[in-house]
Structure 1
Amino acid sequence: MSQITYLKSILCSDFLRDTYDSLASNPVTEHEKFVYGTSGFRMHNEKLDIPLFATCLITLLRSIYCNEFIGIMITASHNPPQDNGFKTVEPKGEMLPQSWEKYVTSIANSVKKGKFDEFIANFLNVATEALKETTVEGKELKIIIGRDTRQSSERFSSFCTKFFNNILTATHEKIKFIDYGVVTTPQLHFIVRKHTIKQQTDKFDILNEYFNEFFQPFLEVMSNLKSSRFKKLYIDCANGVGAVQLEKLKEIYSKKTKQIEIELINTDYDDYSKLNVDCGADFVKTNQRLPANVNETLAMDGENLFCSLDGDADRIIFYALDANANFCLLDGDRMATLIGEYFMEKTPKSFWNDLKLGIVQTAYANGNSTSYITDELKLDVKCAKTGVKNLHHDAVENFDVGIYFEANGHGTVVFNDLFMNKLKESNLPELSLFVSLINQAVGDAITDMFVIIAILLNLDIDAKTWFSKYKDLPNRLVKCVVPDRSQFETFDYERRLAKPAGLQDAINHIVSVNNALHKTRSFVRASGTEDVVRIYAESHSVESVEVVVQDVLKAIKAATA
């Protein structure tokens, strides 16, 4: 059976027709325009039935194309409780290739009331283009799903189960479908990768697989310590899925070591309304203040270490208060620089003679962090477009050891075979153990936490010393509502505007008249999900930043009037 004939047998099923008619008749999404971006689909949960339908179909196509397990993660990460979303996970734990984003977007937007035949024609056109030189014959479709703790996630998970079971009934083809239930986003990426590497079609014990892979090396790091400068680690779990997994981790940890006591904060994942509310990595980063239920006095004590995960545990932010109760934000930029410093500290200079170690940032990275990397650490820096998919790609393409983090705390480190082979040949057991802590597949709050704690303990520095490595330039990130975000087109890694005409010249002028110390920059970038643009500005003073922001706001309004 050819792939198109196979797909036609699916499309002709009563289940698919009935599902289509039900979705197309929903007045909530009648005029909605859907876009699958770098984070997949993400919006209010009441608008997501059509995007999930499209996600299931693209997952089906992707499984045919790859002949491997493909995952669907149901989550909206740091978004508010009423939102949700979906993204697909590739066989090796990667995200959906950018070239396929247009396919799933097209499928979602072709669901229209009374247009089933047109939908079928569009889907088959998409499938024909996407599945070039691929045959479904003799293949077993393999799908994995997981979800976060949102109230709507179980409903969407049930739809996926029903969808794939009905395809099995309609086509009599083999479909291996595994539901891992409540997991963090990085865990789903990890387990899809594990299924691919081991070629296993039976369900893994995810707790054993994930924690043995990354937690055992961390316990070994802890066991090698004679003492620890930290007495207690406080983890803000954002009232999300991270709490579910960290409760299990804490139970194991407490039986293995007493080096650092762990206290979990904001763990009420059963109260759906609390997810990411006044807590979590995004709240801390955006507001630059302590999350709910964190004591100021404890945060000023250098013997305590504080961090916050986001709702699906793929981002992490560290922080502290100094002696004057000033907030010290230890974000993705600072994690990247700390990891870079550790690599340089723990290896002889000659180790890097035929290897490239570097850091990938986005335009949102603070200018002083970039200067610190190039001037103090003497490492290469690359700028990538926003979205970890883009950073991951640039880290792999440009470096043997690529450290990448968005300022929001989402990132990891990737190693190529050249580095791994040289590490095996070298007598660097401490570095080898450190490398084994890292989840290379995707940014992972839990494993990133292991990494940062290991570095701080090994270098014997506290959070305030880490913060003092460089001083961030004052900066602001501001939203501006616009009539049509598609008018805004960027280039130079989103640092400059091609359209609207004349706006970049206006921004250049605003920057130039506020750039006495050559520290000022500003850029404008459209949101991927709503009709707003985001203005980023940084300068030598808070006052200068405010002037730049207000002037850029005026320029945007003039350009879009």
Structure 2
Amino acid sequence: MAVPASIEAAVAAASRPYQLPAGFRPSYGTAGFRATADLLDSTMFRCGILMAARALKTRQITGICITASHNPAPDNGVKLVEPSGEMLCQEWEAYANELANAQSDEELASQVAGLLAKEGVAAPGAGTVMIGHDTRPSGPGLAAAAAAGVRCLGLEAQMCGLLTTPQLHWMVMSRNRGEPCGEGDYYAALAGAYKQLVAGSTSLGQTLYMDCANGVGASKMRELAAHLADAGLAVDLRNTGEGVLNGGCGSDFLQKDRQLPANFGDVPPGARCCAVDGDADRLMYFTPLEGGSHALLFDGDRIACLSAMLLRDLISALPPAAAQGVRVGIIQTAYANGAASRYIRDNLGCAVEVTPTGVKYLHEAAHHYDVGVYFEANGHGTVLFSRAFLEQMKQLSGKSRAAAELLALGVVVNQAVGDALSGILLVEAALRRKGWGLGQWAALYADLPSRQLKVTVADRTVIVTTDAETRVAEPRGLQDAIDAAVAGAPRGRSFVRPSGTEDVVRVYAEAESQAAADDLAAAVARLVHAQAGGVGPAP
């Protein structure tokens, strides 16, 4: 298909204010592009072009969210949204990298023409790309750059303003389905389905303390909580914007440092608490421990187990013919704690599938089941229901309360992407239906102690992994050395993987005791530093 020369000219002209910084080589990671915000004008402009082309190709609405999630406040990035509400399809990631790295206006215009021709897309054309951003000061300007990219292919850039990433995904999904898709519709849908799930159960009573990471989750949870005022869920919001985004607070800080977030010193031990990240797509539950600043964590593994228990209870209450043969799968990465994996297999009887790290891999695998549950240990995840299963539940809902409640669960849980606000309602409903406090949840299994470290390297691509990132193929000899270190640790397990966003190698280790896990992680980190071009002193 020939692309009119006028399109190339329009792209080249529109790109002139958005030049690629000298020496900057953006790389599409597990969830888009990230860098310090002052480098990203050209990347956002080109992502606008890409998602306009994707909208033209699919003849549906696509989306762009300007965010760097749990990264420090000076960073920013972009997450790209398919018409389904899911992340950009992996086949188009190569296009994203090519456009982002074009070295001149003319090269960019040529690459855009090549993309359009290869995909059989006519431009300019009619269509819409929805654009949102989080609370970073750089967000509005970068959103404007993305909008300029959208418009140079003739499409409408709908500026949606301040949103959580999952809200934008949900809105794109709902709009393409022809369903109510406004921000108010999001709150009403989640709150209404939550109330249906907890009807007849007793409130947990205690206040839920929420660490909002000084991000967009604060204002959005405040609005959701207003819809839940009559549902017995009281939420005390902390870190609502008065401090630094993700600074000493948020789910990533909590998971990595295992310390109480800022402004939680007055929260009593045993209190039910949760934390989200800067764009509210990760969720961690926790409670303060006696006599210090440490916290007991309820991470993504525990959320997955709790979700699987709720599903088991509901599915077992279906009419026998409907319950028989329902395929429930729990999708994990190598970061899942070994104790959680054993509990799921031995006590819940669910299939466990392991994928490479990255939500796009877990999400894809979850589609293989009637109900697919995935939560990374970092708290990013959701529960996906197949269209066929939901249709079956609709047919049964008039005569089966369990079927109606499974449909409600499919609304409470964001079907597009991992969503921390949606996840809070999932956890609260599961605990409330069982009448459980955190003690019963914690007693399901005992985590093997673990430690995560990172090693700065000159080039993360020297590490090549296999077997869902659990084994190192390159450099040769490194895996043998890791195996030898693991053999010396009781109940030891360790793996390494290159970061998807920066030149570091991430190290994970677990063992029978915290000291053994710490020692194993340090030993493996030293091996990586020695054999993979570590920068700076050895760990």
Structure 1-normalised TM-score?
0.88
Q: Tell me which residue corresponds to 1:83.
A: 75
Q: Tell me which residue corresponds to 2:269.
A: 300
Q: CA deviation at 1:32?
A: 1.4
Aligned to 2:130, which of 144, 167, 176? 144
Q: CA deviation at 1:142?
A: 1.7
- CA 1:305–1:554 in 2, change beyond 3 Å: closer, same or farther? closer
Q: Give the aligned length.
A: 524
Q: Tell me which residue corresponds to 1:176.
A: 156
Q: Tell me which residue corresponds to 1:285.
A: 255
Q: CA deviation at 1:322?
A: 4.7
Q: Distance in 2 between matches of 1:359 and 1:560?
A: 33
Q: Tell me which residue corresponds to 1:40.
A: 32
Q: Tell me which residue corresponds to 1:93.
A: 85
Q: Tell me which residue corresponds to 2:536.
A: none
Identical positions, percent:
35
- CA 1:418–1:286 in 2, change beyond 3 Å: closer, same or farther? same
Does residue 20 in structure 1 map to residue 15 in structure 2? yes
Following superposition of structure 1 onto structure 2, how do residues 435-450 of structure 1 map, counting pairs within 5 Å?
Answer: 435-450=410-425
For the residue of structure 1 that corresponds to 2:433, the secondary structure is helix
Does residue 537 in structure 1 map to residue 532 in structure 2? no
* Code of the aligned partner of 1:11: E
- CA 1:97–1:167 in 2, change beyond 3 Å: closer, same or farther? closer
Q: Distance in 1 between matches of 2:106 and 2:166?
A: 38
Q: Tell me which residue corresponds to 1:218.
A: 194
Q: Distance in 1 between matches of 2:181 and 2:347?
A: 44
* Code of the aligned partner of 1:128: A
Q: CA deviation at 1:483?
A: 2.1
Residues 437-458 of structure 1, C-alpha deviations (whole Å, 9 max, x = no match): 1111110111111111011011
Q: Distance in 2 between matches of 1:3 and 1:214?
A: 46
Q: Distance in 1 between matches of 2:268 and 2:348?
A: 29
Q: Tell me which residue corresponds to 1:231.
A: 206
For the residue of structure 2 that corresponds to 1:533, the secondary structure is strand
Q: Tell me which residue corresponds to 1:511.
A: 486
Aligned to 2:112, which of 92, 103, 123? 123
CA contact (8 A) 2:47 2:146 kept: no
Residues 198-254 of structure 1, C-alpha deviations (whole Å, 9 max, x = no match): 18xxxx7723221122111123345533x3233212121111111121222233333
CA contact (8 A) 1:75 1:148 kept: yes
For the residue of structure 2 that corresponds to 1:149, the secondary structure is coil
* Code of the aligned partner of 2:173: R
Q: Tell me which residue corresponds to 2:336.
A: 365
Q: Distance in 1 between matches of 2:408 and 2:532?
A: 54
Q: Distance in 1 between matches of 2:410 and 2:3?
A: 44
Does residue 197 in structure 1 map to residue 177 in structure 2? yes
Q: Tell me which residue corresponds to 2:6.
A: 9
- CA 1:531–1:244 in 2, change beyond 3 Å: closer, same or farther? same
Q: Distance in 2 between matches of 1:321 and 1:50?
A: 44
CA contact (8 A) 2:285 2:299 kept: yes
Q: Distance in 1 between matches of 2:354 and 2:440?
A: 27
Q: Distance in 2 between matches of 1:392 and 1:164?
A: 27
Does residue 348 in structure 1 map to residue 343 in structure 2? no
CA RMSD of aligned residues (A): 2.2
Q: Tell me which residue corresponds to 1:160.
A: 146
Residues 473-514 of structure 1, C-alpha deviations (whole Å, 9 max, x = no match): 111110111121111111100000110111111111111232
* Code of the aligned partner of 2:45: F
Q: Tell me which residue corresponds to 1:171.
A: none
- CA 1:340–1:167 in 2, change beyond 3 Å: closer, same or farther? closer
CA contact (8 A) 1:361 1:384 kept: yes
CA contact (8 A) 1:523 1:536 kept: yes
Residues 336-376 of structure 1, C-alpha deviations (whole Å, 9 max, x = no match): 00111122233328554222112001111111110111111
Q: Distance in 2 between matches of 1:431 and 1:400?
A: 12
For the residue of structure 2 that corresponds to 1:451, the secondary structure is helix
Aligned to 2:278, which of 302, 311, 321? 311
Does residue 57 in structure 1 map to residue 49 in structure 2? yes
Runs of 5+ in structure 1 lacking a partner? 169-174
For the residue of structure 2 that corresponds to 1:243, the secondary structure is helix
CA contact (8 A) 1:400 1:419 kept: yes
Residues 274-326 of structure 1, C-alpha deviations (whole Å, 9 max, x = no match): 11111111111111122111135x3424xx42111111111111111355666
Does residue 554 in structure 1 map to residue 526 in structure 2? yes
Which deviates further from its counterpart, 348-357 or 184-193? Answer: 348-357
Q: Distance in 2 between matches of 1:293 and 1:3?
A: 60
Q: Distance in 2 between matches of 1:3 and 1:306?
A: 57
CA contact (8 A) 2:44 2:143 kept: no
CA contact (8 A) 1:317 1:408 kept: yes
Q: Distance in 2 between matches of 1:560 and 1:218?
A: 49
Aligned to 1:381, which of 329, 352, 355? 352
Q: Distance in 2 between matches of 1:420 and 1:205?
A: 20
Q: Distance in 1 between matches of 2:102 and 2:149?
A: 19
Aligned to 2:498, which of 517, 526, 534? 526
* Code of the aligned partner of 2:442: F
Q: Tell me which residue corresponds to 1:172.
A: none
Q: CA deviation at 1:535?
A: 0.7
Which deviates further from its counterpart, 325-334 or 146-155? Answer: 325-334
- CA 1:223–1:420 in 2, change beyond 3 Å: closer, same or farther? closer
* Code of the aligned partner of 1:44: T
CA contact (8 A) 2:68 2:75 kept: yes
CA contact (8 A) 1:78 1:311 kept: yes
* Code of the aligned partner of 2:428: I
For the residue of structure 2 that corresponds to 1:373, the secondary structure is helix
Q: Distance in 2 between matches of 1:509 and 1:253?
A: 53
For the residue of structure 2 that corresponds to 1:136, the secondary structure is coil
* Code of the aligned partner of 1:122: Q
Q: Distance in 2 between matches of 1:146 and 1:322?
A: 38
Which deviates further from its counterpart, 240-249 or 457-466? Answer: 240-249
CA contact (8 A) 1:232 1:260 kept: yes
CA contact (8 A) 2:150 2:156 kept: no
- CA 1:262–1:560 in 2, change beyond 3 Å: closer, same or farther? closer
* Code of the aligned partner of 1:334: R
* Code of the aligned partner of 1:490: T
Residues 117-143 of structure 1, C-alpha deviations (whole Å, 9 max, x = no match): 3333333334333x1xx3427952221
CA contact (8 A) 2:8 2:113 kept: no
Aligned to 2:301, which of 333, 336, 360? 333
Q: Distance in 2 between matches of 1:60 and 1:346?
A: 41
Residues 72-118 of structure 1, C-alpha deviations (whole Å, 9 max, x = no match): 11111111110111121000101111111111101111124xxx433
For the residue of structure 2 that corresponds to 1:436, the secondary structure is helix
Q: Tell me which residue corresponds to 1:321.
A: 288
Runs of 5+ in structure 2 lacking a partner? 534-539
Q: CA deviation at 1:529?
A: 2.0
For the residue of structure 1 that corresponds to 2:454, the secondary structure is strand
Structure 2-normalised TM-score?
0.92
- CA 1:560–1:217 in 2, change beyond 3 Å: closer, same or farther? closer
